[in-house]
Amino acid sequence: MISLRNLRKTYGRGPGAVRALDDVSLEVARGEIFGVVGRSGAGKSTLLRTVNLLERPDSGSVEVDGVEMTTLDQAGLRRARRSVGMVFQHFNLLSNRSVQQNIEFALEAARTPRARRRARATEILELVGLEGRGGSYPAQLSGGQKQRVGIARALAAEPTVLLSDEATSALDPETTESILDLIQSINRELDLTVLLITHEMEVVKRICTSAALLEDGRIVEQGAVTGLISTQ
């Protein structure tokens, strides 16, 4: 479903240049929950952001659902990005818009008709366990509820891939559990492929089927979670 091959990305030039991705290749199969784990600065964010071309690699190939992303023009990229939802560590909700509006806003870009946007927002809020909370504003919600809205927004346009950028890193352990449970249940129910990045091996052990360990821009281990040395 996601195939990254020989990705290289360097920030800056000369002696101060940082090689964020150094010949990174990985394969994520359809329906998997794939974790990329590593310390701060290892290149995880850069890697995740190359999947939907928020970050353009210097070289290498990025294939999502059979589409080579690096050669698309702007219109093609806009279309392809609709099949890739993204959730963030700090939720990135619009604070002056209600929960319902935050989700509908994501669908405006996809040119979904108004009535359909409303129906979809209601349906997706139910899926993430927030039925009836559409009229609330982000400031009225707990961290876990905000992340549920973030997940609902990411899923609104019915993507085939979900990218998660440290989705539970700002949450307490109990809330983390419930959000990981939610990611696992939508993975199963919606046949969604999930690529997540985390600095916590516990997250990988808890929900990932496969994982890669990233160090200084290089993958040092990759495979089924049960077989990884770093998870023993």
Q: Which stretch binds ligand ADP (CB under 6 A): 22-30, 42-50, 73-81, 176-184?
A: 42-50
Q: Which of 2, 4, 7, 20 binds ligand ADP (CB under 6 A)?
A: 20
CA distance 101 to 179: 22
Query: Out of 7, 26, 38, 147, which residue is the one contacting ligand ADP (CB under 6 A)?
Result: 38
Minimum CB distance to ligand ADP, residue 113 (Å): 34
Could you say whether residue 187 binds ligand ADP (CB under 6 A)?
no
Q: Residue 123 belongs to what H/E stretch?
A: helix 114-127
41 binding ligand ADP? (CB under 6 A): yes
231: three-class secondary structure by DSSP: helix
74 binds ligand ADP (CB under 6 A): no
Q: Cβ closer to ligand ADP: 98 or 168? A: 168
Q: E strands of 42-144, at which residues?
A: 59-64, 67-68, 84-88
Per rule CB under 6 A, count of chain residues that contact ligand ADP: 12
Backbone φ and ψ for 109, nearest 5 degrees, come out as -60, -30
* Residue 40 touches ligand ADP, criterion: CB under 6 A: yes
Residue 42 touching ligand ADP (CB under 6 A): yes
SS3 of 19, please?
A: strand
35 lines the binding site for ligand ADP (CB under 6 A): no
Q: Does 58 bind ligand ADP (CB under 6 A)?
A: no
Angle at 42 between CA 32 and CA 77, to 5 degrees: 55
Binding ligand ADP (rule: CB under 6 A), the pick from 43, 85, 134, 138 is 43
Could you tell me which residues come within 8 angstroms of residue 154 by beta carbon, excluding any fewer than 6 positions away?
85, 86, 87, 106, 162
Regarding 193 and contact with ligand ADP (CB under 6 A), the answer is: no
Contact 141, 30 (CB under 8 A): no
The secondary structure element, H or E, covering residue 170 is none
Catalog residues that contact ligand ADP under the rule CB under 6 A: 11-12, 18, 20, 38, 40-46
